[in-house]
Chain A
């Protein structure tokens, strides 16, 4: 019996186990997924929670309900991957052996990584995020009480799991205040480490004026160094004061990735973009001359959040099934502008 073990039952982990369960004969394959929580959160819904567009129940479902029958769901937190022994240790001491491993534990916002953000006394008082379920709910209350002042929508650093979500948030906020009749008492600023709100040439040309038209000020190339009480301070010493800050904290992979020696400085597992195979140590170095830049570009763009190719690295999965990847490539070829 071969064992496929998937870590994390979020978007990627759920998709992988459900698709592969159908394709891998039950007599030959055991498919297991480990998930730390009992809820599956529909994260795009976090954008609408703060404005009352969704109810909490609409974005949280029991994990179990989304996992195909025939997949073993284990509730537990991954502590470490022991590559040399082909097994995964959970925090509660359980040990799970595997033949094939898929790492799909995603990224989470880390306000602790910016001095003054979590520990400056303003967290969840005047500083909020909407990249977590709790954060989005807390922000709903804050927005409801916010009738005048400076609202800053902010990205700490790239990559983040949904690069357009902060922009969408800014537009939704603008519309929200407009409907409440408070728009003229609120100063809106969009602060981004990128050179503009839109950085791709076509998007920039077609959509570049959207902030101006809505009277949203842009603070570009703004890389935050620290939060000083109620002001963002950048590395090049610009200060952006706020009454309400909606930030996307640094997005990082799970700590066990670092503990297992698999991650980079953001706890992301470097992978080959064509195959999503983890690049472990030197083994993949020799491949650099065989890169296929076009394929990489396409795949990179297939998934929102530049990062899904980081977030969903597979160890030796390709051997089992590379059809989803080929399909993604085909689709992208079709939608690619000429």
Chain B
């Protein structure tokens, strides 16, 4: 696993930059990760990110859009505004979780 340095810390990531260690994440790091993909975190973003973190802890699986929308109470349409173009991927990236799974 590659190691990268963000906010002067060594972080384990996969080939696409998704964190591979749940416990290496903290809110400060999230701000940095968000900045890298051009997202400015507001309270609304944090509602989503917090849900992702908690849900992953409970289910060991990065939640998809439908689940985030349902669980965090944010309409899917709004998730597309908060995390433009690829919301599921961007949320997972900022929340320090594995990339959501494709299957084929």
Residue numbers of A with Cβ under 8 A of B are 157-159, 163-164, 167, 194-200, 203, 221, 223, 225, 235-236, 264-266, 270, 273, 285, 288, 291, 293, 296, 305-306
Contact = CB atoms under 8 A, between A and B. Distances in A.
Given A158-B103, A197-B104, A223-B76, A291 B60 contact: yes
Given A265-B70, A270-B59, A235 B104 contact: no
A221 B103 contact: no
A74 B71 CA distance: 36
B86 A158 contact: no
B71 A221 contact: no
Nearest to A236: B80
A195 B80 CA distance: 15
Interface in B43-85: 57-60, 64-67, 70-71, 76-77, 80, 84-85
Nearest to A223: B65
Contact-residue size bin, chain B (C-beta under 8 Å from the other chain):
20 to 34
B78 to A, nearest CB: 10
B77 A235 contact: yes
B66 A159 contact: no
B101 interface: yes
Given A158-B103, A288-B60, A296-B60, A265 B66 contact: yes
Given A221-B86, A235-B77, A266-B66, 8 more contacts: A159-B103, A199-B103, A200-B102, A223-B76, A236-B80, A265-B66, A296-B60, A305-B103
Contact of B102 (A199, A270, A296): A199
Contacts of B85: 221, 236
Contact of A264 (B67, B77, B101, B103): B67
Contact of B57 (A199, A288, A296): A288
B60 A194 contact: no
A304 B62 CA distance: 19
A192 to B, nearest CB: 9
Contacts of A167: 104
> Dominant SS at the B interface?
helix
Contacts of B60: 273, 288, 291, 293, 296
A164 B104 contact: yes
Contact of A306 (B70, B84, B86, B101): B101
26 contacts: A157-B66, A158-B64, A163-B103, A163-B104, A194-B102, A194-B103, A194-B104, A195-B89, A196-B102, A197-B104, A198-B104, A199-B102, A200-B103, A200-B104, A221-B85, A223-B76, A235-B76, A236-B84, A236-B85, A265-B66, A265-B71, A270-B59, A273-B60, A291-B60, A293-B60, A306-B103
Contacts of A225: 76-77
Nearest to A197: B104
B104 A285 contact: no
Contact of B67 (A194, A200, A236, A265): A265
B58 A285 contact: yes
A157 B64 contact: yes
A264 B67 CA distance: 9
Nearest to A293: B60
A203 B104 contact: yes
Nearest to B103: A163
Contacts of A200: 102-104
A264 to B, nearest CB: 7
B49 to A, nearest CB: 19
Instruction: List the 9 closest A-B pairs by CB distance, nearest first.
Output: A199-B102, A163-B103, A265-B70, A235-B80, A194-B102, A163-B104, A306-B103, A291-B60, A198-B104
A293 B56 CA distance: 13
Contacts of B59: 270
A110 to B, nearest CB: 12
